Amino acid sequence: MATMNVSLPNPMKVWVETQVRSGQYGNASDYVRDLIRRDQQNREQIKVLQQAISKGIESGISDRSMLDILKEARSKAQLTKYEL
């Protein structure tokens, strides 16, 4: 595993130490690794959402009614619910 030194303002250092003392993390490195993992996951989720939004915008205006779209969405939601 690689080593990286990070400088923090004192209030942030105190925050990290508090998180470690809470018992949720073994040490400051565990806490920082958890933050990085969460950031990676969040960025991936944002990327997926941005792609879906772009796809929706590029698809243009639908010729279906709002009711038809809602019925289809509810039908898909029910299938997904039972597939789990």
Instruction: Please state the domain extents for the chain.
Output: 10-83
3-state class of 67 per DSSP?
A: helix
Residue 83 is predicted with a pLDDT of 60
Residue 32 CB: number of other CB atoms within 10 A? 16
pTM beyond 0.85: the answer is: no
* Residue reference for tokens 């470690």: 20
Span of 13-22, 31-40, 48-57, 74-83 with lowest mean pLDDT: 74-83
